[in-house]
């Protein structure tokens, strides 16, 4: 009984160690890939007369959500991940400014959505 318990604990510890190593390898490969990508940050200027409302922003977010990709376990292990687009709001010198950060390869898509 005691030996069975020890084998079970050993197997669980080995499994946890394997998962930890796989997670670390995946994170390392992902970080290496991200360092090789070039990102751009653009400022979005919205006129004060803009009366389109939040529906426009919702449309932009819905379209950009389409860049999400599904990856297999082995692709994730190699460091592949979906591209990220970041929308930022900043208060600079008592004025609100909007920024968008995205990978260089998505420039046409992001700019097209913002202009539309």
Widest CA span of the chain, in angstroms? Answer: 77
Per-residue pLDDT tens digits for 57-76: 788 888 888 777 888 877 77
Three-state DSSP state, 47? coil
Q: Is the pLDDT of residue 10 over 70?
A: yes
Per-residue pLDDT tens digits for 16-41: 998 898 888 888 887 887 777 888 88
**Can you name the residues that pair with 42 across neighbouring β-strands?**
100
Q: Which helix (H) or strand (E) holds 101?
A: strand 95-103
Per-residue pLDDT tens digits for 77-109: 777 777 788 888 998 888 888 898 888 888 888
CA distance 98 to 46: 8
Tell me which residue has tokens 């940050």.
Answer: 41
CA distance 16 to 104: 38
Contact indicator for 22, 77 with CB cutoff of 8 Å: yes
pLDDT of the residue at 45: 81
Contact indicator for 109, 67 with CB cutoff of 8 Å: yes
Domain spans of the chain, in order of start? 2-115
pLDDT of the residue at 51: 67
pLDDT of the residue at 35: 79
């Amino acid at each position: 009984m005691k030996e069975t318990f020890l084998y079970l604990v050993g197997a669980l510890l080995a499994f946890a160690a394997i998962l930890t190593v796989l997670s670390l390898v995946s994170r390392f490969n992902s970080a290496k890939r991200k360092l090789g990508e070039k990102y751009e940050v653009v400022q979005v200027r919205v006129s004060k007369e803009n009366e389109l409302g939040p529906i426009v922003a919702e449309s932009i977010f819905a379209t950009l959500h389409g860049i999400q990709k599904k990856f297999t376990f082995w692709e994730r292990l190699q460091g592949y991940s979906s591209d990220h687009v970041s929308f930022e709001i900043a208060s600079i010198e008592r004025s609100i400014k909007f920024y968008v950060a995205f990978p260089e390869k998505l420039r046409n898509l992001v700019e097209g959505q913002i202009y539309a």
